[in-house]
Amino acid sequence: MALESYLERTKHDIASVVFSDTKDNLTAKQRQTLNTLRANKRVNLKRADKGTTTVVMDTFNKIKEGNEQVSNEKFYIPLSEPIVSSTTTKVEAIVNAVLKEKHIDP
C-alpha cells in the first residue's frame, strides 16, 4: 500500500512539472536528416551508456548482438520461473520497513 501511494504521488508530481521551451541545437537540415534516420526501421539510434554519444547501428545487427549477449550463460542464466511476484513482495517489505522507521513519508 505504501509503495502504491508513493508511486501515485510521484506520478502526480511528474505530471505537474512545467517544461520551458528549449532552443533546438540542430539546423533545419540536421533535424530533417535525424528525423529521416529515426523513421528508417533498418537503422537503430540509441544513446551510448555513458556520455552524450549517439550510437548508430543496423537494426539487424543490433538484434543479433542482443541475442548473442542474452544467450551467453556466463552472464545470463534463464530463470526456471517468473520472479515478479517474489520481487514485488520483497520490495513491498522494504518500503514498509523504511516507512515504519520513518525514513520516508507516507
Q: What is the pLDDT of residues 20-37, one digit of tens each?
A: 878 888 999 999 999 999
Cα–Cα distance measured from residue 42 to residue 61, given in angstroms and rounded to the nearest whole number? 10
Give the position of cell 505537474. Answer: 16
pLDDT of residue 87: 94
The dihedral region occupied by 26, where left means phi > 0, alpha psi between -120 and 50, and beta the remainder, is: beta
The answer to whether the CB of 48 falls within 8 A of the CB of 54 is: yes
Residue 67 belongs to what H/E stretch? helix 59-71
Task: Indicate whether 49 pLDDT > 80.
Answer: no
Cα dihedral 20, 24, 28, 34 sign = negative
- What's the rounded mean pLDDT across residues 32-55? 87
Nearest-CA neighbor of 3 among 102, 98, 101? 98
